[in-house]
Chain A
Amino acid sequence: MQIIVNDRQHEVDARSNLQQLLQELGITGGRIAVELNGEIVPRSGFKRCLLHGGDSIEIVQAIGGG
């Protein structure tokens, strides 16, 4: 099924969860935050968080800034 990750189309298996998506993307360790359809998903909830077609996900990190 199609989802949107950081504003790009992405194909995932039906019944994937957020943790699987992050593993697929190679984003495992490291300090990130994730929003699913506008709501923050805490790290402890990644595995339980099932994805659905059309979901919009934002994955952010800290970078240099003033």
Chain B
Amino acid sequence: MNPNSADNLVIAGKSYSSRLIIGSGKYKDFQQNLAALENCNAEIITVAIRRVNLGQNADEPSLLEVISPQKYTILPNTAGCYTADDAVRTCRMARELLDGHKLVKLEVLGDQKTLYPNVTETLLAAETLVNDDFEVMVYTSDDPLIAKRLEQIGCVAVMPLGAPIGSGLGIRNPHNIRLILENAEVPIIVDAGVGTASDASIAMELGCDGVLMNTAIAEAKDPVLMASAMKKAVESGREAFLAGRMPRRLYASASSPVDGVFF
């Protein structure tokens, strides 16, 4: 492999050097969010679409004035949507407010307690959005059949959960993630469930193309430091994957030769 060739993440024809995508939720304030973003070198950041607060002070800065769409790729999500119709409507509003920007994160939830994806509604929404010229990065379960179906519909990336959103439980079913990776011809990005750096490394060591996380950074005691940890975790996990790990063995395999012992 040419050591000079960039191992970039390509999504919908656009190349990114960072394989870490972060969210903008749950931070203390915009400044902390921006500091974390800068510290982890992420290039893509998710945002939510919500009503303007009509009583609000017009002088207060808005998120996109602090985290600029000129500098970062903004990835609007459909958080809070429980139906395909709401998700599609949200994406259309997002596209309008971002001047025709087509890249979206589709998530259609099925249950408030677990925030587990409703995959049947997700399939419907994905089809409508792809037909309406969106570039869809889709949050889904770790079901390999659904993941492949979403790819076949035309999603530009498939994003299986590691564990429920905000749970920090890590990669609960690495075997399913591997099955998804085996069949995939689009980037597979673990989205949801990452809790700490090793979780992100594990996802990358499996062969994932990237990791998306929000709570793992925002709810760390020191989010800006955790952002740095996550950057390194994603990079090291990726290098370990590309390096090709040693085999696992049931028994020991000595690292020092037996020949020449003098006792």
Please list the residues of chain A having a beta carbon within 8 angstroms of any beta carbon in chain B: 5-8, 25-27, 30-35, 40, 42-43, 58-66
**Which of B43-51, B120-128, B228-236, B239-247 lines the interface with chain A?**
B43-51
A63 & B96 in contact (Cβ 8 Å cutoff): no
Of the residues B25, B33, B48, B98, contact of A31 by C-beta under 8 Å: B98
**Does B160 belong to the interface (CB within 8 Å)?**
no
Distance to closest chain B CB from A14 (angstroms): 21
Instruction: Determine chain B's interface SS by DSSP, over half rule.
Output: mixed
Report how far A54 CA is from B65 CA in the complex, Å. 33
Pick from A30, A31, A40 the residue with the most CB of B within 10 Å. A31
Q: Which residue of A lies closest to B100 (CB)?
A: A42
Please list the residues of chain B having a beta carbon within 8 angstroms of any beta carbon in chain A: 23-27, 30, 33, 46-52, 54, 58, 62-65, 69, 74, 76-77, 79, 89, 92-94, 96-98, 165-166, 214-215
For B25, the chain A residues whose CB sits under 8 A away are 64-66
Of the residues B46, B92, B96, contact of A65 by C-beta under 8 Å: B46
A32 & B52 in contact (Cβ 8 Å cutoff): yes
A64 & B52 in contact (Cβ 8 Å cutoff): no
For A31, the chain B residues whose CB sits under 8 A away are 62, 64, 69, 97-98
Q: Which residue of A lies closest to B218 (CB)?
A: A66
Report how far A59 CA is from B52 CA in the complex, Å. 6
Distance to closest chain B CB from A66 (angstroms): 3
Given A66-B165, A66-B214, A61 and B50 contact (CB-CB distance below 8 Å):
yes
